[in-house]
Amino acid sequence: MKSSSTQVAIIGAGPAGLLLGALLAKAGIESVIVEQRSPEYVLGRIRAGVLEQVTVDLLEAAGAAARLHAEGLPHEGVELCFGGARHRIDMHRLTGGKRVTVYGQTEVTRDLMVLRAAAGLATVYDAADVRPHGFDGARPSVRFRKDGTEHELHCDFIAGCDGYHGISRQSVPESALETFERVYPFGWLGVLSETPPVSHELIYSNHERGFALCSMRSTTRSRYYVQCPLDDKVESWSDDAFWGELRARLDPAAAEALVTGPSIEKSIAPLRSFVAEPMRFGRLFLAGDAAHIVPPTGAKGLNLAAGDVGLLSRALAEHYSEKSDAGIDSYSERCLRRVWRAERFSWWFTSLMHKFPDTGGFGQRIQRAELDYLVHSEAASTALAENYVGLPLES
Ligand code: APR
Ligand code: PHB
């Protein structure tokens, strides 16, 4: 057994773990990240990238926002498509000047990886059998195997940033955890293509054939989704079938303007809402997907992960610098308040935009009436806009 020590052991080198490590470094706090996969695998995951200002501010504070500012696409509005027409929600006006930035999560992860490597901070990739230990006591540790050698990383605190399927939440006694979940009866079939986006802003479409979303990664790379049955297989969707279905769910002008091309990535993702409470167990803190999942409709996943680690990094800095545990002791409660507001918005937007098995004719009319009210009501549009651009980290 090879022993080492650090102040904060971070399990998981996704956006949450990497951003936490960067924010801790800025506060002079040492961390080691232990990641089960390779850097290439982590970067290979295609995920949404609609960044709230809170997330942009945290990336700036971490020193990882240069490329984001150079290549990110500021978006001041979003369009809702229903009844054969598009309606723009002017988020910038409705929120007194706020906007989101479209910048792929893969790029956020890449920027954070480059920053960490340049700072010479320790990240153990391809770690096997990672286990958090002793987090209910004063000297926790993370054990793992690397190249056949057993390691024990002693630390003051463990941050479980290992995602929904990670080991951290699973290591908490079931009696200490309460979970809340809703699984949606459909999936999203997503396509990435080297084609110019159909519009300069995102289009969310409610159609009787099902939901569709037009998004982008840059001005030359587009990301599209159509709602599909949970038991659909990606192999059964040819590119032509996808483009035809997407066109059928858009308004005529967008369908006409759509530039199609070969898919460079095609996948089906399930949708779920999930929250584990609390998010702290002794000296183990859960952050990001390890603690909560949102359906992608509201593009909140990355933003919630960033908010969690923003609060956690401040709490740990308070512990080490001011010798105060007030932030640590209130971490879970403060995170969960923001998490549940995002869960509500993501659930509401998913319920409004998708065709459910029991939607039926009445349900379709109700959705249409709500959308009609929403795009013609300043109050309702403002409510959507302020949730979409992101609520304050603490309010
Ligand atoms: N040991 C070490 N690492 C692990 C383990 C384990 N037992 N289990 C999982 N991991 C790693 C995964 O390989 C992954 O790199 O933890 C990382 C978790 O990253 P994410 O799943 O991306 O979660 P998070 O960092 O919270 O980011 C949330 O990612 O899933 C999207 O929509 C979500 O945008 C949101 C963001
Ligand atoms: C994406 O670009 O992948 C994306 C954008 C907005 C969403 C979901 C996904 O709500």
Q: Whose CA is nearest to atom 4 of ligand 2?
A: 48
**Does position 95 have pLDDT exceeding 90, yes or no?**
yes
Q: Give the Cα-Cα-Cα angle 340, 385, 330 (nearest 5 degrees).
A: 30
Tell me the β-bridge partners of 181. 274
**Does position 77 have pLDDT exceeding 90, yes or no?**
yes
Ligand with minimal distance to 43 CA? 1
* DSSP-derived secondary structure letter, 258: P
The model carries a pTM of 0.97
CB 19 within 8 A of CB 306: yes
Catalytic: 388? yes
Catalytic: 296? yes
Q: Whose CA is nearest to atom 7 of ligand 2?
A: 299
Residue 395's pLDDT is 74
Average pLDDT, the chain: 97
CA distance 226 to 190: 7
The residue from 224, 225, 296, 331 that is catalytic is 296
The structural domains of the chain, with segments of one domain joined by +, span: 2-50+104-180+272-350
Q: For domain 2-50+104-180+272-350, say whether CATH 1.10.10.60 is its number.
A: no
Q: Give the end-to-end CA distance of the chain in Å, rounded to a whole number.
A: 46
Give the pLDDT band of residue 394 (cuts 50, 70, 90).
Answer: confident
| Model pLDDT for residues 256-294, shown as the tens digit of each residue | 999 999 999 999 999 999 999 999 999 999 999 999 999
Summarize the confidence of residues 138-160 as an average pLDDT: 97
What lies within 8 Å, CB to CB, of 107 at 6+ separation is 49, 67, 68, 71
Summarize the confidence of residues 212-232 as an average pLDDT: 96
In short, whether 25's Cβ falls inside 6 Å of ligand 2 is no
